[in-house]
Amino acid sequence: MALELDFADKVVVVVGGTSGINRGVAEAYASHGAKVAVASRSQDKVDDTVAALQAAGATQAMGAAFDVRDPQAVADGLAGFHNAFGDFDVLISGAAGNFPALASEMSVNAFKTVIDIDLMGTIHVMKAGYAFLKRPGASIINISAPQAFIPYEGQAHVCAAKAGVDQITRTLSLEWGVEGIRINSVVPGFIDETEGADRLAPTPQARQAVVDSVPLGRMGTKTDMANMCLFLGSDAASYVSGTVINVDGALYQRGSGQFGQQMGAMLRSMSSRG
């Protein structure tokens, strides 16, 4: 079939959808006429995003403030979306936390915080959303990271969490695939004008090192990510499930490379251990 990107009246839920990459994805679905619901911790960010979704062309838009670390709050939030919009066609789980820190200098709670947001948050969203998914035909998209398969100095917490996210994707594509539910992960490279890229490449020099290491010669855009998520949510991807797809300009065919080494060296130079 031809690529069909009409999401009129489709129900799309984006958890962690109030800034950066995930907000770009939510706005892209809105501009294709979907009913879009977003969630994150900040009510102000939720309200701002809902207004933007309406302006972008969403048939309807709504939001809720909750923390993905609280399974009951996630369940209540998704039930509210389901009551208002009906069964979910697309469920996107993208809430995440990240900070560069060497494992030797990270508290146990710091490590656990990222596991709780990225990994536990993903399973909370998927389990709470399970009852509300359209069968057959629903598409779940987990937003992963290259840390899932490339070890990065200063990123032990994210590496562990996102590897878990991708294995949940693969495993539940088996368990839920029999019900006609597709599940995929999308791996952004360095995406310009986002919190994640700003945290890992905070200086012009670090940013240039990233650009220099991307075979396609540029950072990614939120539109690059939105296009992949639109495809995975569409019927054009009806035979795509259980995959982990990079949207990274081929960056991670190089591994973490010089950029990863530089980040490790910088963190060690700042270390209290000297």
Binding site for ligand HXC (CB under 6 A): 96-99, 101, 106-107, 109-110, 113, 145, 158, 190, 195-197, 199-200
Q: 113 contacts which partner out of ligand NAP, ligand HXC, none, CB within 5 to 8 A by kind?
A: ligand HXC
CA within 13 Å, CB half, 134: 15
Query: Which residue, 110 or 240, has its beta carbon nearer to ligand HXC?
Result: 110
Minimal distance, residue 178 CB to ligand HXC, in Å: 31
Q: Does 97 bind ligand NAP (CB under 6 A)?
A: yes
Minimal distance, residue 9 CB to ligand NAP, in Å: 25
Q: 226 contacts which partner out of ligand HXC, ligand NAP, none, CB within 5 to 8 A by kind?
A: none
Q: 243 contacts which partner out of ligand HXC, ligand NAP, none, CB within 5 to 8 A by kind?
A: none
Measuring CA to CA, which residue among 45, 159, 33, 157 is closest to residue 90? 33
Give the footprint of ligand NAP on residues 6-25 (CB under 6 A). 16, 18-22
> The sheet that has 182-188: what strands, in order across it?
60-65, 35-40, 11-15, 90-93, 139-143, 182-188, 244-247
Q: Does 96 bind ligand NAP (CB under 6 A)?
A: yes
DSSP state of 116: I
CA within 13 Å, CB half, 236: 13
Token pair for residue 260? 């990863």
Cα angle value 33/65/100 (rounded, 5°)? 100
Q: Does 195 bind ligand NAP (CB under 6 A)?
A: yes
Give whole-number Cα distances, 34 to 16, 18, 195, in Å.
18, 16, 26
Provide the 3-class DSSP secondary structure of residue 189.
coil
Q: Does 40 bind ligand NAP (CB under 6 A)?
A: yes
Q: 106 contacts which partner out of ligand NAP, ligand HXC, none, CB within 5 to 8 A by kind?
A: ligand HXC
Stated as kind and residue range, the H or E segment containing 47 is helix 43-56
Provide the 3-class DSSP secondary structure of residue 209.
helix
Query: Which residue, 109 or 269, has its beta carbon nearer to ligand HXC?
Result: 109
Residue for token pair 């990107």 = 5
Minimal distance, residue 248 CB to ligand HXC, in Å: 9
Q: 63 contacts which partner out of ligand HXC, ligand NAP, none, CB within 5 to 8 A by kind?
A: none
Minimal distance, residue 188 CB to ligand NAP, in Å: 4
Provide the 3-class DSSP secondary structure of residue 263.
helix
Calpha distance 40→31 (Å, rounded): 21
CA dihedral 211, 213, 217, 222 (to 10 degrees): -60
Total interface residues for ligand NAP by CB under 6 A: 27
Query: Which residue, 94 or 154, has its beta carbon nearer to ligand NAP?
Result: 94
Q: Does 207 bind ligand NAP (CB under 6 A)?
A: no
CA within 13 Å, CB half, 17: 34
Q: 16 contacts which partner out of ligand NAP, ligand HXC, none, CB within 5 to 8 A by kind?
A: ligand NAP
Q: 201 contacts which partner out of ligand HXC, ligand NAP, none, CB within 5 to 8 A by kind?
A: none
